[in-house]
Structures are given as structure tokens and as C-alpha cells.
């Protein structure tokens, strides 16, 4: 009917206008986020740019475009998130003009991407850059360098055990053993509890290394269909032959 046709045309027109508005809304959101960037964000951006082969401008653009941008504010808040994670790894990117292949798959291409993550929703296959809170104090532009610790570990090809082992043995343990200030523990490295702690960390890395090597050197047993060997067993000689 004419009324139905008119309604359909209006719906199509509204849908078309909505699609045109989406890029504008996204741009406004990015600019709103960019306006919130202060010295705290600059500190994070600088550390990420130093650790990853990207410029500060590129990191800033990535951050303001990330759907999880609000996690940064939650990390800065008093008694906020204790960790803020960034993954930098290959992510499948589908071309806008991609078409289905004969087998029904799409033409997806791996592309390096930096993104904010909770660490539990995406597979970790590349580099992790992390920020850790040391207290429940609100993070400000003046205390961010004291309240927030930055670190990275590499798990190329998803080899998490090897990445963790390297991070602990080559970065954390040398840093701990050279640490002079242990807070209320005045004796520092000479304190028996500190020595026991360092011994336990060394032992953990050693166990981690052994476990990794055992996993890498594991033996894959071949599955064998034994039915053909046992279906006609009748006398002792048949058992010997089957064996």
C-alpha cells in the first residue's frame, strides 16, 4: 500500500542518515577523550612509545580510539584498578571490500595492533605492556611516576612460559638483587627474610624453566588401531604374534 511504501522509504532514509552520523559521533568521542588527556596519560603514552616501536602521536591516537578507554580512568581513581594492560600483537583485520572465498572464509589479514585489555578476553600471543598500582592513592600528574610501575614481557607466538621465564630471570631478579631500599627492612639484602624471598624466586624460575623444557620435549604417541591385531586371537601363538 502507499502508506506502507512511504513508511519503508522513511525507514531507509533514517537508516542512511544514522550511518552518516556514526563517523561524526565516533570523532566527537575521540575528541572528548583527547580533551581529557593530561600529564598522567602523557606518562603512560611516553612509556608505551619507549617500549613499543610506535611514536607518542600514534599511541595517543590508538588510546583515544580504544573502546576500553574508560579503564584508564578507573586505573587512576582512588582505590582503582590495580593493573592496566596493553597487548601489542597480530590481530586479524578484515578488508572492507573482502568477499567470501570458495570455502566460505573471508580474506582476513594479520596486522600488528596495540589495544587495552583486561587480559582475560583475548588470547595473548605477542607483547604485553603493563602498568601496576603500588597503593590506593589517587593517581595525579605529580605522583604518577612514583605510584605507577611499568613493565613489559614478550610472548611471541604465544610462548607465555618462555616470556615469563625471561622476564623474571633477566629483568626482575637482577633488579631485586640490586635493590638497596627495602622500606622498613633496614638491613636490605643482608636481611634473612629478604634472602629467603630471593631464594624462593630463584627456585620458582628454575622450576618454571624445567617445566617449560619438559613441555617442549614431550613425546607424542601415535594412535594405533589395535582392533586388527586382537579381533582373531584364539591361542597363545596368536597372542605372541599380536605382541
Q: Answer yes or no: are the C-beta atoms of 117 and 62 closer than 8 Å.
A: no
Q: What is the mean pLDDT of residues 204-218?
A: 86
Does pLDDT of 118 surpass 90?
yes
The residues, any chain, with a CB within 8 Å of residue 65's CB and separated by 6 or more, are: 30
Q: pLDDT value at position 168?
A: 93
How confident is the model at residue 72, as a pLDDT?
97
What CA–CA distance (Å, rounded) separates 39 from 63?
15
Share of the chain above pLDDT 70, in %: 82
pLDDT tens digits, one per residue of 154-171: 988 778 888 999 999 999
Tens digit of pLDDT for each residue in 15-45? 656 556 656 666 788 999 999 999 999 999 9
Q: What is the pLDDT of residue 105?
A: 56
Query: If you average pLDDT over residues 86-97, what whole number do you get?
Result: 78
Overall average pLDDT of the 191-199 stretch: 93
Question: What whole-number distance in Å separates Cα of residue 153 and Cα of residue 164?
Answer: 7
pLDDT higher at 238 or 189: 189
DSSP string, 119-182: SSSS---SEEEEEEESSSSPP-TTTHHHHEEEEEEE-GGG-HHHHHHHHIIIIIHHHHHT---B
Q: Tell me the average pLDDT across 112-131.
A: 92
The 10s digit of each residue's pLDDT in 41-67 is 999 999 999 999 899 999 999 999 999
Predicted TM-score (pTM) of the model is 0.69
Amino acid at each position: 500500500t502507499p502508506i506502507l511504501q512511504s513508511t519503508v522509504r522513511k525507514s531507509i532514509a533514517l537508516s542512511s542518515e544514522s550511518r552518516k552520523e556514526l563517523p561524526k559521533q565516533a570523532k566527537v568521542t575521540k575528541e572528548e577523550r583527547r580533551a581529557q588527556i593530561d600529564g598522567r596519560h602523557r606518562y603512560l603514552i611516553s612509556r608505551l612509545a619507549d617500549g613499543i616501536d610506535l611514536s607518542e602521536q600514534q599511541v595517543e591516537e590508538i588510546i583515544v580510539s580504544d573502546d576500553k578507554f574508560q579503564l584508564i580512568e578507573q586505573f587512576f581513581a582512588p582505590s582503582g584498578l590495580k593493573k592496566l594492560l596493553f597487548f601489542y600483537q597480530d590481530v586479524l583485520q578484515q578488508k572492507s571490500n573482502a568477499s567470501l572465498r570458495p570455502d566460505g572464509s573471508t580474506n582476513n589479514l594479520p596486522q600488528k595492533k596495540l589495544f587495552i585489555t583486561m587480559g582475560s578476553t583475548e588470547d595473548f600471543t605477542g607483547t604485553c605492556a603493563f602498568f601496576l598500582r603500588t597503593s590506593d592513592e589517587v593517581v595525579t600528574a605529580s605522583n604518577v611516576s612514583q605510584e605507577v610501575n611499568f613493565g613489559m614481557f614478550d610472548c611471541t607466538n604465544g610462548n607465555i612460559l618462555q616470556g615469563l621465564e625471561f622476564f623474571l630471570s633477566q629483568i626482575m631478579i637482577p633488579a631485586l638483587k640490586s635493590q638497596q631500599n627495602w622500606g622498613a627492612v633496614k638491613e636490605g639484602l643482608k636481611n634473612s627474610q629478604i634472602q629467603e624471598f630471593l631464594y624462593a624466586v630463584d627456585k620458582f624460575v628454575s622450576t618454571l624453566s624445567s617445566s617449560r623444557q619438559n613441555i617442549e620435549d614431550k613425546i607424542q604417541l601415535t594412535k594405533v588401531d589395535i582392533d586388527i591385531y586382537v579381533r582373531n586371537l584364539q591361542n597363545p601363538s596368536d597372542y605372541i604374534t599380536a605382541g
